[in-house]
Structure 1
Amino acid sequence: MSESINQLLADLHAERERTWAPEALKINIDQRRTLVEQADPARFVKVGDSLDAFTLAPVEGGTLELERLLANGPAVLVFFRFAGCPACNLAIPYYERNLQPALHERGVPLVAISPQVPERLKDIKERHALTLQVASDPGNALGRRLGILYAFDEASRQASLAKGPGIGEVTGTGTWELPQPTVLVIGQDRRVHFAEVSPDWLVRSEAQPIIEAVDALLDQDLRTSKRA
């Protein structure tokens, strides 16, 4: 049986049910439920959308532009919240194990993206010895264009502040906005060929459907090149 990210996240939630104080667990559950109930899929990036140029900031330094990402074929983008997010520390290593090898074999770059500033974001890459690329979306600029951002509700803000600095200080963005977990497969035509957005950050895309979307796009590109 192949590894499932959603089983890993279900196990995380089950552990919280056993170990968290009831009031803390309720705040977490209520925030995620509200995000699901208030989600407007019409605002989310979707298959068929065309992406304008964007620039990311890799944790190693420099810049990463859409044009360079697509230089040799399609690319896969995975949006996550921040380096210290427990769910992200399950999800991103899961993609390293279950998605990165298949994409690397196909020559397709995989980029994990968070608004957290690069000098803090690099922690997740170093902690898990990731070979996939990790990059910052400065100011949530790309996430905002894709319609995938959310803001902490008041109860979550107060809970965050009670434990220490607010999320804006943790990420270095100065805001309460984070991206909802999102996976995109982008073709060389700059169009979105696979898009999955999850308002609940304890639900994320499994690796196999992403690989299948990439393979379908590569097959399509091959047929097109043969006709040319």
Structure 2
Amino acid sequence: MSESLNGLLAELHAERVRTWAPEALKVNVEQRRKLVDEARREQFVRAGDIIAPFELLKVEGGSLSLDQLVANGPAVLVFFRFAGCPACNIAIPYYERNLQPALKARGVPLLAVSPQVPERLVEIKSKHNLTLQVASDKDNALGRRLGILYTFDDASRLASLSKGPGIGEVTGTGTWELPQPTVVVLGADKRVHFAEVSPDWLVRSEAQVIIDALDEVLGVTDKVARSA
């Protein structure tokens, strides 16, 4: 696969280095570094975990339960921050281009999940004409259970407020909590078969890594995977 998600995210960071004020860049870099250094990895979702029932809110209306999601086999969940997040507007369309076709060929749903309220979250789906599903994790309920949430530090709160409303107003959650970028492959057995959490939101899972993990769940040979 020629297109690299982390290469695209590195380009975003390089553009910020060129164009952002040093003080603003410092806040961004230091929060990401702090999140990596202080990550409570022992709490992160991991392969082998059994997932209890949950319900997400589809941006088009209605809900989506765990039972519905894995009714016909495995499913892939990609957690992201919110519809206006610049890195997410790189990552989610990347998954639409490089992950969704492979999953669709295998009959596996791809679901992008954010705590942002549905009426605001729908923006990212319509903006990029996404065919993958997008759903809201109300009150970060599932993200909290998966141990993937983080809270803005003081410097980042001040930086956010200097640009406009706080993130809680942007997301509609009223809090400073967001999920760290996370990919979860769930089996029909409601067990986690693969999980990768990225405390630094400018480092995310490449599509081929997810496809390979899914193919292990499906028992697909390399030859079949390459031809799909």
Place the TM-score, normalised by the shorter chain, in its bin.
over 0.9
Which 4+ stretches in 1 moved above 6 angstroms?
Answer: none
Equivalent position amino acid for 2:6 in 1:
N
- Alignment correspondent of 2:60: 60
Distance of 1:167 and 1:199 partners within structure 2: 18
Aligned to 1:99: 99
The residue matched to 1:129 in structure 2 has which SS? Answer: coil
CA distance in structure 2 between the partners assigned to 1:213 and 1:30 by the alignment? 32
TM-score (norm 1): 0.96
> Per-residue deviation at 1:156?
0.3
Q: Matched residues in 2 for 1:20 and 1:219: separation?
A: 47
Instruction: Give 1:204's aligned amino acid.
Output: R
Task: Give 1:41 shift.
Answer: 1.1
Offset from partner CA, 1:71-123 (integer Å, 9 cap, x none): 10000000000000000000000000000000001000000000000000000
Partner of 1:119: 119
Structure 1 counterpart of 2:224:
none
CA distance in structure 1 between the aligned counterparts of 2:191 and 2:27, rounded to whole angstroms: 37
Aligned to 1:163: 163
Deviations 1:20-73 (A, max 9, x none): 000000000000000000012101000000000000001000000000000100
TM-score where L is the length of structure 2: 0.96
Identity of aligned residues (%): 75
* Deviation (angstroms), 1:187: 0.3
Partner letter of residue 89 of structure 2?
A: N
Question: d(CA) in 2 for partners of 1:197 and 1:216?
Answer: 19
- Tell me the equivalent position of 2:44: 44
AA partner of residue 77 (structure 2): L
Distance in 2 between residues matched to 1:107 and 1:160, nearest whole Å: 40
Tell me the secondary structure at the aligned position of residue 204 of structure 1.
coil
| Distance in 2 separating the partners of 1:30 and 1:210 | 28
Does 2:134 match 1:134?
Answer: yes
Structure 2: segments with no counterpart, 5+ residues: 221-228
Query: The residue matched to 1:196 in structure 2 has which SS?
Result: strand
Deviations 1:113-172 (Å, cap 9, x if unpaired)?
A: 000000000000000000000000000000000000000000000010010000000000
Query: Unmatched 5+ residue regions in structure 1?
Result: 221-228
Quick one: which amino acid aligns to residue 77 of structure 1? L
Cα distance between partner residues in 2 of 1:87 and 1:58:
22
Letter in 1 for 2:42: A
| AA in 2 matched with 1:116 | Q
- Determine the C-alpha separation between the residues in 1 that align with 2:219 and 2:206: 21
Identify the residue that residue 151 of structure 1 maps to in structure 2.
Answer: 151
Name the amino acid aligned to 2:86: P
SS at match of 1:60: coil
Q: Partners in 1 of 2:86 and 2:117 — Cα distance? A: 18
**AA of the residue aligned to 1:44:** F
